[in-house]
Amino acid sequence: MKIKRIGILTGGGDCSGLNAVLRTFVKKAIHTHGIEVIGFLDGYEGLVKNKYKKLENKDVSGILTIGGTILGTSNVANPFKYVIQEKPKLITKDLSKQALQVYKKLKLDGLVCIGGDGTLSTAYKLLQIGMNIIGVPKTIDNDLMHTDKTFGFDTAVSVAAEAIDRLHTTAQSHHRVMIIEVMGRYAGWIALYSGVAGGGDIILIPEIPYKMEKILETLKYRERLGKKFTIIVVAEGAKPEGGKIFVSKIIESSPDPVRLGGIGIHLGEEIGKRSGKECRVVVLGHLQRGGSPVPSDRILASSYGYEALNLVLKNKFGYMVALQNNKIVPVSLSKIAGKIKPVPIDHELIQMSKGIGVSFGI
């Protein structure tokens, strides 16, 4: 099929590099192939509500280095479970047929969905109801299956590592325990990579439930070595052995309503009480998602945009572009939908860290 017009949207939580994907995709589509690109606004909301903008070269020019997404996004809108306020409560409706009508009315030959596991699981369902879908893996969490990396991850790690560097000097000066809580949902990728890059003394990730006694032992051990401060990097999804994950809020209107958070504060209180040490807690939050992408994310996101268009040109729908062994390859969306990629507990960075005395709380 000769492609004439293609839709694109950015869904889920934003991250650095979204605009880089849009830029490459749109420039190549218009410039080299004369394909029209329709950008849906605010993720799947635009697809359901027919809110879009025809993207021209001028719209994507100069956006490579800019964080966020020029299209807007939403981690609430889902065509299959669209949340509607029917007073007094929120109800969900299946508006996927409405989304399909919009797709058909606009005479789209395909739709590119840039997102994390929620967006891509929905994209897979849209494929099954008749849309020609291509996925692009985005998330700071790096928790998507079958890709070595998602764009946004390196930038988040870089922000977190810089924060750890800054905490080091103040922790040292005050002889304190500094705890930094980073994002990542149910996977510990950001905590592990930033913990290693920033030289964290204790790294706590969801994949390795911690024991408080082991954390306290590490503090004592460091004291015996003459080290008066400790940096703890904790993933928001980390939990004590036999204990529960910390939930910060439930967002009723979201198809994935649980938001994690609170472990940092909990650790600060518990460690302070049980060790008598002065603790301070920093929750890095959305700083990890905002701002300009680091060069490696600019390159990865641009390459994903380029290869996504190549899949469109080949009519290879139902696939996500993925990074495997330094090559961008197509992976069937059926292999990605509904799954997440945890950190393997024998990961080489965990082994290396353990080898130099970093504690994982076990």
Write out the residues near ligand F6P by the rule CB under 6 A. Answer: 13, 75, 116, 139-141, 183-185, 236, 259-260, 289
Length of the chain: 362
Helix (H) or strand (E) holding 320: strand 319-324
Name the residue nearer to ligand F6P (CB basis): 179 or 260: 260
Q: What is the token pair recorded at 138?
A: 């985005």
Least CB distance to ligand F6P at residue 139 (A): 5
Question: What is 91-139 written as a DSSP string?
Answer: EEE--HHHHHHHHHHTT-SEEEEEESHHHHHHHHHHHHTT--EEEEEB-
Q: How far is CA 343 from the centre of its chain?
A: 14
Name the residue nearer to ligand F6P (CB basis): 102 or 156: 156
Q: How far is CA 147 from CA 25, 57, 308, 329, in A?
A: 19, 29, 14, 9
Name the residue nearer to ligand F6P (CB basis): 16 or 139: 139
Q: What is the token pair recorded at 83?
A: 């949340």
Name the residue nearer to ligand F6P (CB basis): 255 or 330: 255
The span from the CA of 119 to the CA of 6, in Å, is 18
Name the residue nearer to ligand F6P (CB basis): 50 or 254: 254
Name the residue nearer to ligand F6P (CB basis): 285 or 357: 285
Least CB distance to ligand F6P at residue 9 (A): 17
Tell me whether residue 141 is one of the annotated catalytic residues.
yes
**114 with 12: CB under 8 angstroms?**
no
Which residue reads 């469109």 in tokens? 312
Least CB distance to ligand F6P at residue 116 (A): 6
Least CB distance to ligand F6P at residue 268 (A): 19
Name the residue nearer to ligand F6P (CB basis): 181 or 201: 181
Least CB distance to ligand F6P at residue 329 (A): 24
Q: What is the token pair recorded at 270?
A: 């518990």
Least CB distance to ligand F6P at residue 303 (A): 21
Residue whose CB is nearest to ligand F6P in the complex, by number: 183
Q: How far is CA 300 from the centre of its chain?
A: 14
The span from the CA of 184 to the CA of 182, in Å, is 7
Selection from 183, 268, 189, 258 nearest residue 231 by Cα: 268
Question: What is 180-223 written as a DSSP string?
Answer: EEE--TT--HHHHHHHHHHT-SEEE-TTS-B-HHHHHHHHHHHH
**5 with 109: CB under 8 angstroms?**
yes
* Candidates 109, 117, 141, 154; catalytic one: 141
Least CB distance to ligand F6P at residue 174 (A): 29
Question: Which residues are known catalytic residues?
Answer: 141
